Structure 1
């Protein structure tokens, strides 16, 4: 009976289990377990960190370019006051943000914001509104009192400086109560370029600005 048990189905010798030979390295990886897996993860993280450190990166935030002509046209034709906008800014000035609020809202002041990246890579913004100057100007300049005055194209602007925010500002309030502020990290010289480019926008048929063309589908 024992001899029969040692024979296979065809009467031959029963098949013996075969051993599989593996290399010492593979055997170690198969038997290391969780510790080896954790070591591999740490090694990968270190590699990613090294790649991050040696990869060149720009320190400048990528900002989109915006078209503010539609807002300019709407404010010029429908605003409660004669608006001012930049005309003929030199090359290198790029509009990166635009926001018009309060237009058509009864009892609310209109505010227009235009943000620019200057040729030197700094930030400069136009802020204008028919809000009360004593409230609007300090809020836009982040300052309670002017530090001096600067003449731009024959017009006097009050200067402001907020040291902790590194913000320079030029501000003036027009006879009709509209306040215009140019503010940013740009130097006073660059802010003066923006201030000099501001022109009144004609509300009549011969407007200084024209609406952006409408694309037809």
Structure 2
């Protein structure tokens, strides 16, 4: 019977396979809700990196203290520079509404560092009150940011979160050197 297969036979075979795949898809559970999105990004423990950064960095490294458990750390890094200038601390987080917010710090040249970590955001009118300090506001196509330049270090709280959430994160920052 070789050579007697027809296009009709091939189409019928594909239809049977399609029905089987559809049935499998329907009966296998899959979660596409908010909890699935929440569990897709894993929480990281940043304590070891924070201790290392605070020992190594030439500036007091800032990290949040007292934030609610609904904030989740998702990424962390500290990159020291060879010349003792330009070391960079990064702590990425998701806020309670699953918006990204990050703490970025460096002793590098402020203008270049701010442009890099805010993805090109520019300074806008107005300041953001965070506790007793005023932070500069930046707005970009992707990120908004709060920026504070101090002697020897620039701290940027940036991300897709609204300014109020960024201010919550900035208010929780405690800078220490060990």
TM-score range, shorter chain: 0.7 to 0.9
Distance 1:76 1:94 in 2: 21
Check conservation: 1:66, 1:96, Cα contact below 8 A.
yes
Q: CA deviation at 1:52?
A: 5.2
Q: From 165, 174, 178, give the equivalent of 1:199.
A: 174
Query: 31-40 or 89-98: which moved more?
Result: 31-40
State how many pairs are aligned. 171
Q: Are 1:88 and 2:71 counterparts?
A: no
In the alignment, which residue of structure 2 is the partner of 1:44? 17
| Corresponding residue for residue 187 of structure 1 | 162
SS in 1 for 2:13: helix
Q: Does residue 132 of structure 2 align to residue 154 of structure 1?
A: yes
Return the structure number with greater strand share: 2
The structure with more radius of gyration: 1
TM-fit CA distance, 1:142: 2.5
Aligned Cα root-mean-square deviation (Å): 2.8
Q: Against the structure 1 CA distance between its residues 169 and 50, is the aligned structure 2 distance closer, same or farther, given a 3 Å change threshold?
A: farther
Aligned match for 1:175, one of 151, 155, 171? 151
TM-score by length of 1: 0.68
Structure 1, unmatched stretches of 5+, are 1-29, 204-217
CA contact (8 A) 2:85 2:107 kept: no
